[in-house]
Amino acid sequence: MAARVDKDTFESEVLHSERLTLADFYSDSCVPCKRLSPVLAEIEEKYENEIKLVKININFDLELAEKYEVQSVPAILFFRNGEVVSRLDGFVKSGEISSVIENLK
């Protein structure tokens, strides 16, 4: 189950994460974000030992969104060793997320 991170835990949970980390930026009442949730849960299960999934609610942590140039949700940012190595904007299908993960593995 993906944990919600905020600006206080972002550094330890995302930037210092040992695994490829997917940060799901979402907002309350955003329908495509709601639809993406089960897709990401599936991905998390499929790559259980390879990735880490975290969620960032932009209603509360707008600063993080600004910092990473996220201006629309949902947006998935892929972090490795503290850097953004890929991103997917908007609602995406499971296969698109998998293929980014496969490429980064």
Partner 1 sequence: MYDTIIIGSGPAGLSAAVYAKRAALNTVVIEKNYGGTGQIAESERVDNYLGLYGESGFDLGERFRAHAKALGTEFYEGEVTAVLSEADGYRVRLSDGAELQTRTIVYAAGASPRKLCVKGEAEFARKGVSYCAVCDGAFYKDKTVAVIGGGDTALGDALYLANTAKKVYIVHRRDQFRANRLLQERVSNTDNIELILNAVPTEIAGSKRTESLHLIRGGQGETLSVDGIFIAIGTIPNSGILQGLAALSADGYVIAGEDCATSAKGIFAAGDVRTKPLKQVSTAVADGANSILSVTEYLEENGR
Active site residues: 30, 33
Residue closer to partner 1, measured from CB, 19 or 34: 34
* Maximum alpha-carbon separation in the chain: 33
Residue 99 interacting with partner 1 (CB under 8 A): no
Distances (CA, A) of 102 to 13, 31, 35, 46, 62: 22, 27, 22, 12, 30
User: Site residues for partner 1, window 5-64 (CB under 8 A)?
Assistant: 27-35, 38, 58-59, 62
**Residue 46 or 93 having the CB closest to partner 1:** 93
Rounded CA separation 10/40 (Å)? 19
Q: Point out which residues bind partner 1 (CB under 8 A).
A: 27-35, 38, 58-59, 62, 65, 69, 71-73, 75, 89-91, 93
